[in-house]
Amino acid sequence: MDGRPMQRVALGVAYDGSSWRGWQTQPGGQTIQDQLENALHQFAGQPLPTICAGRTDTGVHALAQVVHVDAPFERTEYAWIRGLNRYLPDSIAVQWAQPVSVEFHARFSAQRRRYTYLILNRAHRHPLWQTRAGWCFRPLDETVMQQAANLLLGEHDFSSYRSSECQAASPVRTMYQIQIHRRGELLALKFEANAFLHHMVRNLVGELVYVGHGRRSLSDFERILNARDRTLAAPTYSAAGLYLTGVTYPQELIAMPAQSDDLLAL
């Protein structure tokens, strides 16, 4: 940097993750972070590192990933959006931009995160949903799935739904809400928590699917949660159906743009 005062900018980024190896930079450049930082380099004429609200895995999508970047110049919000989208591939696009104070941090300032998981619930798979939704060929009872989901509300040790590769210091998380909706052959499972463990949502979806088609009872579901043993729980569900749909921050740090996270309405 050349010593000019820095401006911190928050960006809202949406992406189709099906062709990318997740968020975090890797050799070869086939990640969302690599593509965004490449666009920033071309836009700014110099490297600009990024910090995101939550690192998504290979194949996972986002409607509302939040990123911050420190730039040695000022640009209008319109210039940030149009300038970066010019250099981004079609599957990644900046949706909004706004200047923020240096107290704002995309990851550490986040209070809540929201994910939605889409399940295509029909007898036969459909190629148009292959990279957009998980698939379950058995009929699912969304009412009993919601009853099971309600048992997850509040603060719990989620070790039964934690990846063996998870690096979080604690398995304890607070789940604020889970809502399960059906529209025709599509189920949307919406999760909101203070934070999520690695593969936590996809592991919970697998267990809720077991409940939905009768393989697990509600008492089984509760027992597995309390056992804190990953080996007892259902397999991890496909990444294809997972979407990061929102992040909540203190209002004094950022005025988040209003946007819908209803995937069934898209």
The DSSP secondary-structure symbol of 263 reads: G
Angle between helices 142-150 and 218-227 (to 10 degrees): 40
Residue with tokens 């040790």: 157
Beta strands in the chain (DSSP E): 7-15, 50-52, 61-71, 92-100, 112-121, 134-136, 154-157, 172-183, 186-193, 242-248
Instruction: Please pick, among 16, 57, 220, 262, the residue that the annotation labels catalytic.
Output: 57
At residue 185, φ and ψ (nearest 5 deg) are: -90, 0
- Which among 138, 134, 108 is positioned nearest to 203, based on CA atoms? 134
Cβ 242 vs Cβ 60: under 8 Å: yes
Q: Which long-range contacts (CB under 8 A, 24 or more apart) does 3-6 make?
A: 4/72, 4/73, 5/72, 6/70, 6/71, 6/72, 6/102
Sequence letter at residue 46: Q
Catalytic (active site) residue 157: no
Question: CA-to-CA distance for 42 and 154, rounded, in angstroms?
Answer: 45
Question: CA-to-CA distance for 106 and 177, rounded, in angstroms?
Answer: 22
User: Catalytic residue numbers?
Assistant: 57
